[in-house]
Every structure is written in structure tokens, then in C-alpha cells.
Amino acid sequence: MFEVVIGLEVHVQLNTTTKLFCSCPTSFNHKQNTNTCPVCLALPGALPVLNKEVVHKSIMLGTAVDATINRTSIFDRKSYFYPDSPSAYQITQLYTPIVEHGKLEIDLENGTKKTIRINRAHIEADAGKNIHDGDVSKVDLNRAGTPLLEIVSEPDLSNGDEVVSYLKKLHSIIRYLDIGDANMQEGSFRVDVNVSIRPKGDEKLYTRVEVKNINSFKFIQKAIDVEVARQSEAWEDGIYEQEIAQETRLYDQEKNETRSMRGKEEAADYRYFPEPDLLKCLVTDAMMEKYSKIPELADEKHARFISEYGMNEYNAGVVTASVETAHFF
């Protein structure tokens, strides 16, 4: 009786050598707060400079998902206070992202394909990390300023299987393009799931709940199932209006439940405005020429291995499942 409507936000950490706006290394496993400088510590007077490698990798991703690459994109300041964000704002792209209107074709269980529209992909800086240790909380800013590409889908997905299929395809693209390691456990491929339900046939979008903190494909599927069950039960019990609010919920994998983390803010709460310390980001013809020539992706390789080498569907699938295996083959 219900139809499930899901949209995804995926934060991909780009594998650049240095951070988004400074020359600090992005490598991990360093002593806390050593990969930092006046820029990523947001000391007064320090000015950000855009890392062009981030722009190049964004063009590659945009090309791979058939998107428009905006020749001019603009950075915005998203204000919020959190201990791991020393500037008390995040630099992101709200109004004019570098990548817009893309699409991804996913494979469904029944052998058919479905096109999922990608609303946008924008560049933003990651925050640091809070470490809670008994009564003490510590802040490590080594990660502050690491480049992220946030890839936002339209609400075109209708169940956990489609979500996993979409994520696997996106994951494969990032690995084949070699623009990130996309390691879910290490947090370089972070997925937020926006879930809502509606009676079958209804065109309206109801209250969407954002579920965070899910670090494997298996748990994403489970988190969607429990959240859909929670919303459907509330609807059937006639308490949907009271129970289901626009909010951010955390998935608890031990208890297999979602629970409220915070009310969902609206864009106005963040007081976005154009980042005054950065120029517009311009993509030149030369950059387009060079970075829109992307390597062969898994689907094309899969088709070519069948037509050129006479492999069967299954074997071609096994060999192209990971970029390392495909290159070795």
C-alpha cells in the first residue's frame, strides 16, 4: 500500500595530495593536529586558495555521470558552530555547484535498468574530528579542510536494493576514475539516506527523514527497512503527523533501529552567503579538454570484454567488479 521514496547524499573524499584550500597533506595516521596550518585552523587573516586538483577530479566525475559541468561555480559560506569546525562555517557550493543534472543507470534484480537522476555534485571542505574519551572530549583538526565532493541524487530510488545498486555503481566510478578510495569503513564514502513514504499512486512528497551513520551496504539496506517500517506503522496507527518529523536520525546497528539526533535545519538556518575570501571557480576549455577524457569505466569494459574477448556475462562481471582485477586482467 505504501511506496518508498529515497534520495541519497554521498560524501566522497577526493584523493588529492593536499587539502582543499591549503597545502597541508591529506594523509592520515599522523599525530593529532600536526597536518594543520593557519588556513585550516582558520586563524585570523589566513586566506584560502582553491586546490585545482579538486576541480579536475570534479570534472571527471561530472563527465562520468553525464552531467553539465558549470564553467563558473561559486563557493558559499555555511555558518554553523561545532567544535571540530574552527572557522564556525563550512565552505561549500550551494547556489552554483560545479556539477549539475547528471544521471546514473543502475541494474535491477530482474535484469532491467533504471535511470537515477543526479541533482548535483558540489565541492566542500570536511570538518575535523571530535574524539570522546570518558569525561573528556578532544578535537583533532588533521582532517579539517580535506576536499569532499557531495553527490546528491533526486528522490528516484524506491527500495534498499536500488540504493545498494546505485551506491555500488557510484563507488565503481570513483575507483575507476581513481579520484578517491571510497572506503566506507574509513569514512571516505559516507552515505546519508533521505527516506519518506506515500500511499501508492500519490504524487506528493511527504516528510523526509535523513538517516546518517551507516557504514556498509548491508546496514544501509537494514536502516532503510527499519525506517520504512517505523514510518508505515505510524501511518497505519494514524499518528504519522505526530510521530514523523523532518529530522536527522542515527542508525544504531546493534539495536537495528533509528533514533532522533537533531531536527533538520532549513537552508535559511545556515545563513549561506557567497564566500568573500574566494574567487569564482572557472573551468577553462583546456581543463575541459583534458579532464573530460576519462578512462574506460566498468560497464564499457564489461561490454568490451564480452565483444572483444568472447567472455561470458558472468566472467566479465567478475573481472570488472574491481578496478584492480580489471587492470590486472
Write down the least CB distance from residue 21 to Zn ion, Å: 8
Write down the least CB distance from residue 10 to Zn ion, Å: 25
Write down the least CB distance from residue 42 to Zn ion, Å: 10
Residue 218's CB is within 10 A of a number of other CB atoms, namely: 12
Write down the least CB distance from residue 125 to Zn ion, Å: 10
Contact (CB, 8 A) for 121 and 149: yes
Phi, psi of 4 (to 5 degrees): -100, 135
Write down the least CB distance from residue 181 to Zn ion, Å: 21
Closest CB to Zn ion among 141 and 197? 141
Q: Cα separation of 98 and 147, whole Å?
A: 14
Residue 106's CB is within 10 A of a number of other CB atoms, namely: 21
Write down the least CB distance from residue 276 to Zn ion, Å: 19
Cell of 56: 579536475
Look up residue 120 and give its amino acid. Answer: R
Q: Say which DSSP state 267 is in.
A: G
Closest CB to Zn ion among 63 and 142? 142
Closest CB to Zn ion among 86 and 155? 86
Contact (CB, 8 A) for 86 and 144: yes
Q: Cα separation of 74 and 98, whole Å?
A: 8
Closest CB to Zn ion among 139 and 250? 139
Write down the least CB distance from residue 291 to Zn ion, Å: 25
Angle between helices 160-177 and 52-64 (to 10 degrees): 130
Closest CB to Zn ion among 146 and 196? 146
Write down the least CB distance from residue 273 to Zn ion, Å: 23
Partners of 18 in beta bridges? 25
Q: Is 320 helix (H, G, I), strand (E, B) or coil?
A: helix
Closest CB to Zn ion among 142 and 258? 142
Cell of 65: 555521470
CA 178 to chain CA centroid, nearest Å: 16
Closest CB to Zn ion among 6 and 24? 24
Contact (CB, 8 A) for 50 and 91: no
Closest CB to Zn ion among 41 and 261? 41
Closest CA to 73 of 272, 284, 268, 266: 284
What's the angle, vertex CA 181, arms to CA 213 and CA 226, rounded to 5? Answer: 25
What does the binding site for Zn ion look like in residue numbers (CB under 5 A)? 22, 24, 37, 39-40
